[in-house]
């Protein structure tokens, strides 16, 4: 087993994820793993970085495939004794002009952005090493969606005692109501992507609470963040930031210095804690 430190970035063969790997290769003292669903694309991205004089490693990882997640978990546990930095970046979004029915968009978007990311966390959080850093890539759209929810829903999402089970129930309820076409009447907004990120930021708050309660001496920091509006396949060519600029807050949270106590369980944008 290697005593080296190790960082892992999900969905990192392109866009913000690739920019995060690039930045970590320059700043992180340890091995940096680029992961992707598609082995060919992932290895091509690693080769591209090599052309920039940067050395990343590759591991196949599809967060929607539980077997793939467990295989990766076992690899990192066996080879490194766990993970020092986990950046949950993998995510999807439908384009604004997409005509896919809203109920389908809700199901597909939450499947990856919330449920698969949660599964990933449930497998990997137990192997985060002491002093580890967990960064869940959320979005300012999650805050906007939260503001468009009914006051009852807002109160639950902001609650300091909401459980993971309750949150899962809320996310399942949104998908069901969206499929039935009654999500507005039930207090939900018209953004599947936004709701998926409301869920992810709330999940991060729950995870941080749990880490503090169950592993108080381990100094693990877990935060959600917004990269900003970034020129990627997902956000399109008109966005204001380059991927490297979008990576800045993610990398800042991943490299919070040893012994830091905060931020923890927060939603961070432009390296600043935002109100939730």
Cite the active site residues.
Answer: 193
Nearest-10 Cα torsion for 40, 11, 196, 7: 150
What gap in Å lies between CA 246 and CA 20, rounded to an integer? Answer: 9
Give the dihedral sign, CA 90/193/262/125: negative
Which distant-in-sequence residues (6+ apart) come within 8 Å of 48 by Cβ? none
Which distant-in-sequence residues (6+ apart) come within 8 Å of 198 by Cβ? 142, 143, 145, 146, 149, 157
Closest to 11 measured CA to CA, from 43, 49, 37? 37
* Residue 248 φ/ψ region, left for φ over 0, alpha for ψ in the -120 to 50 degree band, beta for the rest: alpha
What gap in Å lies between CA 276 and CA 136, rounded to an integer? Answer: 15
Burial (Cβ within 10 Å: 0-12, 13-18, ≥19) of residue 59: middle
Q: How many helices (H) and strands (E) does the chain have?
A: 11, 8
Q: Which residues pair with 36 in a beta bridge?
A: 60
């Amino acid at each position: 087993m290697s005593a080296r430190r190790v960082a892992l970035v999900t969905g990192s063969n392109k866009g913000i994820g690739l920019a995060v790997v690039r930045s970590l290769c320059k700043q992180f003292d340890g091995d940096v793993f680029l992961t992707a669903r598609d082995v060919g694309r992932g290895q091509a991205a690693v080769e591209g970085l090599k052309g920039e004089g940067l050395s990343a490693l590759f591991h196949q990882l599809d967060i929607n495939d539980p077997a793939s997640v467990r295989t990766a978990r076992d690899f990192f546990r066996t080879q490194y004794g766990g993970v020092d930095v986990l950046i949950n970046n993998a995510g999807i979004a439908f384009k604004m002009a997409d005509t896919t029915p809203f109920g389908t968009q809700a199901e597909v978007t939450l499947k990856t952005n919330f449920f698969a990311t949660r599964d990933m966390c449930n497998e990997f959080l137990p192997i985060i090493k002491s002093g580890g850093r967990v960064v869940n890539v959320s979005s300012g759209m999650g805050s906007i969606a939260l503001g468009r929810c009914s006051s009852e829903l807002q109160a639950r999402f902001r609650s300091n005692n909401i459980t993971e089970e309750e949150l899962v129930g809320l996310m399942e309820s949104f998908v069901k109501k969206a499929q039935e076409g009654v999500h507005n009447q039930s207090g939900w907004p018209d953004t599947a992507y936004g709701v998926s990120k409301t869920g992810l930021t709330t999940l991060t708050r729950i995870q941080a609470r749990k880490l503090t309660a169950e592993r108080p001496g381990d100094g693990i920091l877990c935060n959600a963040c917004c990269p900003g509006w970034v020129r990627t396949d997902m956000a399109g060519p008109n966005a204001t930031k380059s991927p490297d600029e979008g990576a800045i807050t993610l990398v800042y949270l991943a490299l919070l210095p040893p012994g830091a106590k905060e931020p923890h369980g927060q939603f961070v944008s432009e390296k600043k804690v935002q109100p939730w």
